[in-house]
């Protein structure tokens, strides 16, 4: 039942040629003693009083948008318990189109929660409806929830072709917040969850700040929200990090020069134990892979020891003697001695029922109404209880634990997992703390312990409260040896398909809220432990490379077929820049990723064209779909090493195979010899071309390629009509070349650190 009075007047928010929101109101739900109260606000800056509570609704204009929040004060002599605060409620928002045509951005609660742009009339989204799913992905579930689209912290409503509405909280540290839309379009609500916290007499509380904005481009609105929230929350991205972009970083520059937004730090690379060994690895397995990395000269920095080294969740210094007979220190020293950085996985906000930690400190857990410890999650069949991160002893233990890992083991990369446990509902030591505040206090304790120069990666994390504390964030479910999830109806289940969808639909968060982690890259051959066919593995490689975030491999490199490593090398180093999902608001599974690249010497566009279907299709890619300027473009098909010719309109992929991502390069046609592409990286020149010079008088094209490690590849050059290639030299030595098509030249070389290439041309008389 809608508790808002039918006679409420409220505000009207409107935009020219855009949406109109009429009868906009706000509300607070709270308890005074055992009695529940509902307080509705219809006017700005006008105090409204209810029993024991005063509320004021505030607004600031911001360009064409509005910033809204509530200020709440316990005005009586008795403390009150705050439940929810609706900063905005709109009956039947007017989007100038029927709700059945709307597309709605639905952002999941935590890392693994499904995220996509849903159609209200017919969506691929399904709700398994199990208690386990609700606990992991629906923190605000209540009866009647099935009739809602709930998006955490932000949504964008889009009515094609050009009516978009952004509703998003730009502060996120104190309350969990969601945007609710009824699936029939009859009500839109922006709600902060206050979790029944105690507000003592005379005390005040402010909700998170909501931003409401409209425009014709829904993707740009979502990007603007991420940029604004990152600034408000002090996001730890290179151009916003403490100390500015010149602040010291433990992770060296991997790319060449600065990216499109001006950063000069690149996302970490590394190797992870999980997706081959699944916790069964020994210390010797890790050392074998460290040696393989050196043998193959793979530019992987971090060695991440994932789950399985500990005897129980919570007992992080009780090392499994069967897997690590000499403890953690020797393996940590060996990793650092080999020139790598040690990464450690933990699930810091849980204590297994079998752990020494829980046995010694059962009072450290969140409690339910009956006083029993709240289960955070079940880990391989063992309940793990949620730690109370408002308890001072828990915070002290967290700081001590992570300080020891930093000082005694030398870890500088920390992956903290299952973070949602700290935000489980229940009773806490501090009754005035919300679930969001409890989670944030725990992450703050870890950040204080590891120092500002360590890399902190969140996972299984409610996203908002972590902004400004973590350096990286997993933004999708686990990748998996299978393309489709075992249970197709569960979009949160581990699978490569689900992981990639979330990574694409949250691509806008990268370098705005943190560095995105799309999860690990798997390139090993198909076999008993991996069921990805070649096209699926290439799609995983292409999407990770185009999104430009963390790039961690998780194969057994000691046993891998060496030829498969070319795919790993082609994704390294990460560019730091993310492609844009151009059709995010058109398809629930976005198909077009566009990465613009601009250098002093040229510009080009790398496009990922994804076929999510289980069948071969014909796909047309038009320049107008990509937003490219009018002109003539060379087109190169990366995986097939095929030149598709020159176009001023588009290309047709006549046999676009199942689960294949065609990586296409579009480069403007030049009237002189030019570099078309290199195949050393999926992004084709973005990271490996260090120098480019054209000497018109001598007809000399000079290129310098730089890339860590060793790799065989090719460069492709274009020679317009009347230009002939005289010779090409690589590091001073003449090399043969082939001409795959008229005006096209190709030469192969081994890039070992750096290669200088000179191609001399002459004008045909």
Catalytic site positions: 417, 478
Tokens describing residue 289? 């892979």
Listed in sequence order, the residues at least 6 apart from 211 whose beta carbon sits closer than 8 Å to its beta carbon are 62, 65, 66, 67, 166, 167, 168, 169, 170, 225, 228
**Which residue is associated with the tokens 């730089």?**
706
Listed in sequence order, the residues at least 6 apart from 583 whose beta carbon sits closer than 8 Å to its beta carbon are 590, 591, 592, 625
Tokens describing residue 447? 């950040």
Residues pairing with 35 in the sheet: 32
Cis peptide bond upstream of 619, omega within 30: no
SS3 of 762, please?
A: strand
Q: Comparing C-alpha atoms, which of 419, 420, 441, 421 is closest to residue 430?
A: 441
**Separation CA 58–CA 663 (nearest Å):** 48
E-strand ranges in 465-588 read: 472-474, 515-517, 551-553, 580-581
Tokens describing residue 52? 């024991």
Residue 595 contacts residue 577 (beta carbons within 8 Å): yes
**Separation CA 686–CA 598 (nearest Å):** 8
Tokens describing residue 752? 């070992």
**Which residue is associated with the tokens 């690149």?**
266
Element (H, E) at 382: strand 382-386
Listed in sequence order, the residues at least 6 apart from 729 whose beta carbon sits closer than 8 Å to its beta carbon are 735, 757, 758, 759
Q: Comparing C-alpha atoms, which of 112, 54, 42 is closest to residue 80?
A: 54
Instruction: Say if residue 24 is exposed, middle or buried (CB neighbours under 10 Å; 0-12, 13-18, 19+).
Output: buried
**Separation CA 36–CA 30 (nearest Å):** 6
From first CA to last CA, the distance across the chain in angstroms is 84
């Amino acid at each position: 039942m809608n508790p808002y009075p039918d006679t409420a007047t409220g505000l009207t928010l409107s935009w020219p040629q855009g949406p109109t929101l009429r009868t906009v109101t706000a509300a607070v739900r709270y308890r005074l003693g055992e009695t529940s109260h509902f307080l509705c606000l219809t006017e700005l800056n006008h105090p409204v009083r209810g029993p024991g509570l005063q509320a004021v609704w505030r607004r600031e204009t911001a360009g064409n948008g509005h910033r809204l929040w509530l200020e709440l004060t316990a005005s009586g002599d008795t403390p009150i318990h705050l439940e929810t605060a609706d900063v905005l409620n709109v009956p039947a928002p007017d989007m100038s189109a029927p709700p059945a045509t709307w597309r709605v951005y639905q952002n999941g609660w935590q890392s693994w929660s499904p995220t996509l742009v849903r159609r209200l009339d017919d969506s691929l989204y399904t709700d398994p409806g199990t208690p386990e799913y609700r606990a992991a992905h629906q923190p605000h579930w209540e009866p009647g929830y099935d009739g809602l689209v709930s998006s955490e912290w932000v949504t964008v409503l889009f009515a094609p072709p050009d009516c978009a509405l952004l509703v998003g909280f730009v502060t996120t540290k104190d309350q969990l917040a969601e945007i609710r839309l009824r699936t029939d379009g009859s009500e839109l609500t922006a709600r902060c969850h206050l979790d029944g916290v105690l507000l003592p007499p005379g005390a005040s509380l402010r909700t998170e700040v909501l931003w409401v904005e409209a425009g014709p481009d829904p993707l740009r609105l979502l990007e603007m929200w991420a940029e604004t929230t990152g600034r408000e929350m002090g996001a730890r991205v290179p151009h916003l990090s403490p100390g500015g972009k010149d602040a010291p970083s433990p992770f060296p520059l991997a790319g060449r020069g600065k990216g499109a937004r001006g950063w000069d730090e690149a996302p970490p690379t590394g190797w992870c134990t999980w997706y081959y060994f699944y916790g069964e690895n020994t210390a010797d397995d890790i050392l074998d892979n460290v040696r393989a990395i050196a043998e193959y000269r793979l530019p992987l920095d971090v060695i991440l020891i994932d789950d399985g080294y500990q005897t129980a969740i919570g007992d992080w210094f009780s090392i499994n003697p069967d897997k690590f007979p000499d403890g953690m220190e020797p393996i940590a020293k060996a990793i650092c001695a080999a020139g790598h950085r040690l990464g450690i996985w933990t699930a810091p906000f849980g204590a297994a029922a079998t752990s020494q930690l829980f046995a010694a400190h059962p009072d450290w857990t969140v409690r339910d109404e009956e006083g029993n410890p709240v289960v955070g999650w079940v880990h391989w069949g063992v309940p793990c209880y949620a730690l109370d991160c408002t308890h001072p002893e828990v915070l002290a233990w967290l700081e001590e634990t992570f300080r020891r890992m930093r000082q005694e083991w030398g870890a500088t990369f920390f992956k903290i997992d299952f973070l949602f446990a700290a935000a489980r509902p229940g009773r806490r030591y501090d009754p005035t703390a919300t679930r969001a505040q409890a989670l944030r206090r725990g992450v703050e304790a870890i950040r204080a312990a590891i120092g500002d120069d360590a890399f902190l990666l969140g996972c299984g994390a409610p996203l908002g409260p972590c902004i400004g504390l973590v350096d990286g964030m997993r933004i999708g479910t686990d990748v998996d040896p299978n393309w489709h999830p075992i249970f197709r109806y569960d979009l949160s289940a581990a699978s490569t398909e689900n992981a990639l969808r979330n990574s694409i639909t949250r691509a806008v968060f990268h370098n705005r809220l943190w560095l995105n982690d799309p999860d690990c890259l798997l390139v090993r051959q198909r076999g008993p432990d991996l069921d990805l066919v070649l096209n699926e593995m290439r799609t995983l490689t292409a999407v990770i490379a185009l999104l430009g975030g963390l790039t961690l491999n998780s194969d057994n490199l000691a046993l891998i077929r060496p030829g498969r490593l070319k795919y790993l090398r082609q994704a390294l180093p990460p560019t730091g820049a993310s492609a844009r999902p151009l059709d995010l608001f058109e398809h629930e599974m976005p198909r077009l990723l566009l990465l613009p690249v601009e250098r002093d010497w040229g510009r080009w566009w790398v496009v990922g064209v994804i076929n999510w279907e289980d069948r071969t299709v014909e796909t047309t890619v038009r320049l107008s779909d990509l937003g490219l300027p009018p002109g003539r473009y060379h087109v190169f098909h990366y995986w097939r090493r095929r030149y598709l010719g020159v176009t001023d309109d588009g290309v047709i992929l006549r046999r676009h195979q199942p689960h294949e991502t065609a990586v296409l390069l579009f480069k403007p046609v030049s009237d002189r010899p030019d570099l078309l592409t290199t195949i050393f990286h999926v992004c084709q020149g973005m990271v490996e071309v260090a120098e480019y010079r054209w000497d018109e008088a001598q007809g000399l094209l000079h290129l310098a390629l730089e890339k860590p490690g060793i790799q065989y590849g090719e460069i492709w050059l274009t020679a317009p009509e009347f230009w002939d290639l005289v010779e090409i030299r690589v590091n001073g030595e003449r090399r043969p070349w082939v001409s795959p098509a008229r005006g096209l030249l190709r030469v192969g070389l081994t890039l070992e650190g750096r290669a200088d290439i000179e191609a001399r041309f002459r004008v045909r008389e």
